[in-house]
Chains A and B, each alone.
Chain A
Amino acid sequence: MRTCSIKGGETLNDSNFDKEFDARGLACPLPIIKARQEINSLGLGQILKVVCTDRGSLNDFKGWAKSAKNLEIVDQKTEPENGREVYIHFLKRTA
């Protein structure tokens, strides 16, 4: 199921991000821990794309963005890949 949010007329597609982090195969708590390190390496306003195979990551990244003061979720999508699903999160550094 693909959900997309369109902000200010721009379309979020697979090329609208500054860095990609492959978290495939990582299980909780590693996706969050490693993604945090990656976010800290970004500049203000930049977008990190995280690709996970951990199904819990959908709620986890939502929860992290709600509690953290330095990032927000731009989009989340679920896509089929090689017979399973991957969960893609676009996070923007805000502080």
Chain B
Amino acid sequence: MELQQSPSVNGKSPQDQIRELEARIASLEERQPDDRVSMVVFSGDLDKVLASFIIATGAAAMGQQVSMFFTFWGLNSLRKKRIVVGKKLSEKMMALMSPDCSKGLPVSQMNFFGMGAVMLRFMMKEKKVASLEELISLAHELKVRMVACEMSREVMGIKDEELVEAETGGVATFLADALKSRVTLFI
């Protein structure tokens, strides 16, 4: 059936209808999420942070753009050292009660003053599972975007020198990526 002979709807010609449909499809396509995964890493537990890096590196290996936003306790997984001097009393106490680096993260259950984390790392090594530090370095290689939350870093009194190199941002930095993501996780 030729287009010229199709009936017009609401007084619009078929060509107009096609143009309108094309415009609607274009705006729908624009609203489709990207091949993108976003995560908030809020937890400072070894097992949870491990899970987040496994997902992040897995997704990156599968071709997704990955963003990880480290906030509050999650900042401890980006820690390379602990500084106590030059801080206020409350910040000093916070630092002393926090792990001094990623190797000091506790497990979320059965930690038993650190024994639990030691056991978990031992069991992972036995089964030849990549360690957290190996996964963090893989994440860098795979260009996972790692952002440290500026606000919680300030609140907890963590200095820049205590963290590894990472971007700094706030809520809008996370949301800009999350709004375009297919997968968004809070860990």
Contact A28 B150 (CB under 8 A): yes
- Number of A-B pairs whose CB atoms are under 8 Å? 60
A57-B173 Cα distance, complex, nearest whole Å: 9
Q: A27-B151, A27-B154, A28-B151 are in contact. Are A57 and B175 (CB under 8 A)?
A: no
Q: Is the interface of B mostly helix, strand, loop or mixed?
A: helix
Residues of A within 8 A of B149 (CB): 28, 56
B110 in the interface (beta carbon within 8 A):
no
B1 in the interface (beta carbon within 8 A):
no
A21 in the interface (beta carbon within 8 A):
no
Q: Is the interface of A mostly helix, strand, loop or mixed?
A: helix
Residues of B within 8 A of A66 (CB): 176
Q: A54-B150, A56-B150 are in contact. Are A29 and B179 (CB under 8 A)?
A: no
Of the listed stretches B48-56, B120-128, B164-172, chain A binds B164-172
Contact B172 A55 (CB under 8 A): no
Contact A64 B168 (CB under 8 A): no
Q: A54-B150, A56-B150 are in contact. Are A29 and B176 (CB under 8 A)?
A: no
Q: A54-B150, A56-B149 are in contact. Are A28 and B171 (CB under 8 A)?
A: yes
17 residue pairs from A and B, CB less than 8 Å apart: A28-B150, A28-B170, A54-B151, A56-B149, A56-B150, A56-B170, A59-B170, A59-B172, A60-B170, A62-B176, A63-B169, A63-B174, A63-B175, A66-B176, A67-B176, A67-B179, A67-B180
* Known A59-B147, A62-B176; 20 more pairs at CB < 8 Å: A27-B151, A28-B151, A29-B171, A32-B171, A55-B150, A56-B150, A56-B151, A56-B169, A57-B170, A58-B169, A59-B169, A60-B172, A61-B172, A63-B169, A63-B174, A64-B176, A66-B176, A67-B175, A67-B176, A67-B180
B contact set with A: CB distance below 8 Å: 147, 149-151, 154, 167-177, 179-180
Shortest 4 CB-CB distances between A and B: which pairs? Answer: A63-B176, A56-B150, A28-B170, A59-B169
